[in-house]
Copies of this chain bind each other. A is one copy, B any other.
Amino acid sequence: MADANDTPFSSEDDRFHDECGVFGIFGRQDAAAIVTLGLHALQHRGQEAAGIVSFDGQQFHVERHVGLIGDTFTKKAVIDRLKGHRAIGHTRYATTGGTGLRNVQPLFAELADGGIAVAHNCNLTNAMTVQRTLQKQGSIFTSTSDTETILHLIATSREQDINSRFIDAVRQIEGAFSLVALTAKKMIGCRDPMGIRPLVLGDLDGAWILASETCALDIIGARFVRDLKPGEMVVITSKGIDSFFPFEPQSPRFCIFEYVYFARPDSYVEGRNVYGVRKNIGIELARESPVDADIVVPVPDSGTPAAIGFAQEANLPFELGIIRNHYVGRTFISPGDSIRHMGVKLKHNTNRKMIEGKRVVLVDDSIVRGTTSQKIVQMVRDAGAKEVHMRIASPPTRASCFYGVDTPEASKLLASRMSVEEMAEFIRVDSLGFLSIDGLYRAVGEAARDNEQPQFCDACFTAQYPTRLVDVEGSDNIRTLSLLANNG
């Protein structure tokens, strides 16, 4: 599995994808310019498209564009149109099907008492069920995003003030969600009751900020204030910030995979430095699965911190035995009929000099389908490695995520249908070791996993989902808006 900082890459797309990053600022000139920078720092959370809504005291302004932040929102004309001292933004990874602008957030609605824009990093587990109910009452959906469901719940709420409408809406949804909303007078942030996805509060010279990760605070020189608490809703106005807890209290279940792969290494999430956790993972891995070898080689770039930790703990040289080509864009299609299976080579090449004749420990963050691992191992063997030992910086991923991460169906996950030995054979390594689930919990600072009440959401490893899965379990799980996929 390759790097979270990757631009997606067609046929070789063999990893999990986080779907969104959000960022908002309230009370600062050039608000949209700051959101642009914040979203750029969150680009690893979604590269497909982005949107920003600003409010200038009179009017809302919206821009949505396909592509990287740096390709679209840095044009002066675009930024100049986004007037105002408050703005929220969103960057997204394309999920299946519709890649048009229609699904790009933030979404906006004119309610009877004023406009509201909403962006979120989430996946609702009852969105389709709620949507069906709303349609029966006459709501018209123009996109397939969960955000529109939330927006309709706010619009059709019988409550009078916006806070109450918002609370009314979020109480009807289930799943993982970190929301930011902007109205004429307020910026609202909200995390789901278990705090599955991250959302942090920052401060830039008195202007409040909401962001998915702290790296988005660093880029603009903002101060990290604190993580929002699971189930917390904050309402920011020109008078200050208020905190609400609209849900029944529940035990927190932060997504542990954020530490393994999604979050940027320089971010602090839920109080922990991501790079530090990843090095710890490498250390735990070296203890759990030691190996007699000559060098430690990361699969760049996502395996690098764990490889450094592994090398230090194992007292082996850390070497860049695989070189990455950073120019792999989204659309590189193997040209020509006689040229196939180029995928891995487009992105990686072995550094033969380092590998030839060596016993190599390869460190990667996870195995999804296994096809990429297979090709990388072959490349390393072709470069003359004497032995190849694969060490994976997480437990085997056996189950799909329903909380905002794009995962293959469970049946496509290698670990769901093979034992570790079979996997070792499949990817053709001399040995294969995964981090244990308790090792992973140790790396994040816990003594071990509490199997009664797990401290994190680790459903992709354990298939123990912290919420109901209404849409999946119900019979009502067909997407109705098939039309929209065809719209340019």
With both beta carbons as reference points, the residue of chain B lying nearest to A335 in the complex is identified as B33
**Is A240 an interface position by the 8 A CB rule?**
no
Are B138 and A157 interface neighbours, CB within 8 A? yes
> Pick the contact of A353 from B276, B481, B482 — CB < 8 Å?
B276
With both beta carbons as reference points, the residue of chain B lying nearest to A51 in the complex is identified as B487
Report the minimum CB–CB distance from A289 to chain B (whole Å): 22
Question: How many chain A residues touch B (Cβ–Cβ < 8 Å)?
Answer: 105
With both beta carbons as reference points, the residue of chain B lying nearest to A7 in the complex is identified as B327
The interface-forming segment of A37-45, A403-411, A424-432, A467-475 is: A37-45
> Pick the contact of A308 from B132, B320, B325, B486 — CB < 8 Å?
B320
Are A140 and B115 interface neighbours, CB within 8 A? no
- Complex CA distance for A327 and B48, rounded to whole angstroms: 12
Q: Which residues of B contact A115 (CB under 8 A)?
A: 483
11 sampled A-B residue pairs with Cβ under 8 A: A30-B335, A68-B327, A73-B335, A110-B480, A135-B155, A140-B155, A215-B349, A218-B345, A266-B349, A276-B353, A301-B326
Total copies of this chain within the assembly:
4
**Is A233 an interface position by the 8 A CB rule?**
no
Chain A residues 97 to 116 lying within 8 A of chain B, measured CB to CB, are: 108-112, 115
Q: Which residues of B contact A488 (CB under 8 A)?
A: 63-65
Are A351 and B265 interface neighbours, CB within 8 A? yes
The interface-forming segment of A74-82, A254-262, A436-444, A452-460 is: A74-82
Q: Which residues of B contact A377 (CB under 8 A)?
A: none
Are B480 and A349 interface neighbours, CB within 8 A? no
**Is A465 an interface position by the 8 A CB rule?**
no
**Is A350 an interface position by the 8 A CB rule?**
yes
With both beta carbons as reference points, the residue of chain B lying nearest to A272 in the complex is identified as B353
With both beta carbons as reference points, the residue of chain B lying nearest to A31 in the complex is identified as B336
**Is A239 an interface position by the 8 A CB rule?**
no
**Is A451 an interface position by the 8 A CB rule?**
no
- For the complex with contacts A64-B487, A264-B349, 7 further pairs of A-B residues with Cβ separation under 8 Å are A29-B338, A37-B335, A74-B331, A74-B333, A75-B331, A138-B139, A276-B354
- Complex CA distance for A90 and B352, rounded to whole angstroms: 26
> Pick the contact of A152 from B61, B140, B327 — CB < 8 Å?
B140
**Is A71 an interface position by the 8 A CB rule?**
yes
Chain A residues 309 to 333 lying within 8 A of chain B, measured CB to CB, are: 312, 317-320, 323, 325-329, 331-333
With both beta carbons as reference points, the residue of chain B lying nearest to A153 in the complex is identified as B138
Interface digits, A123-162 against B, CB 8 Å rule (1 contact, 0 not)? 0000000001001111111100000000110011100000
**Is A34 an interface position by the 8 A CB rule?**
yes
Are B40 and A325 interface neighbours, CB within 8 A? yes
**Is A36 an interface position by the 8 A CB rule?**
yes
